[in-house]
Chain A
Amino acid sequence: KAGVTQTPRYLIKTRGQQVTLSCSPISGHRSVSWYQQTPGQGLQFLFEYFSETQRNKGNFPGRFSGRQFSNSRSEMNVSTLELGDSALYLCASSLRGSGGIGEQFFGPGTRLTVL
Chain B
Amino acid sequence: TQLLEQSPQFLSIQEGENLTVYCNSSSVFSSLQWYRQEPGEGPVLLVTVVTGGEVKKLKRLTFQFGDARKDSSLHITAAQTGDTGLYLCAGALGYGGSQGNLIFGKGTKLSVKP
Binding site for B on A (CB under 8 A): 4, 31, 33, 35, 41-45, 47-48, 55-58, 90-92, 94, 96, 98-109
Contacts and interface: CB of A to CB of B under 8 A. Distances in A.
* Interface residue SS majority, chain A: strand
Contacts of A33: 99-100
9 tightest Cβ-Cβ pairs between the two chains A and B = A56-B100, A106-B42, A42-B106, A43-B104, A33-B99, A48-B99, A101-B92, A100-B97, A99-B97
B-side interface size class: 20 to 34
Nearest to A97: B97
Given A42-B104, A103-B48, A98 B97 contact: yes
Interface of B: 2, 30-31, 33, 40-45, 48, 50, 88, 90, 92, 95-107
Contacts of A58: 100
Given A90-B42, A106-B43, A101 B33 contact: yes
B99 A31 contact: yes
Given A4-B42, A41-B106, A92-B42, A104 B99 contact: yes
A91 B41 CA distance: 11
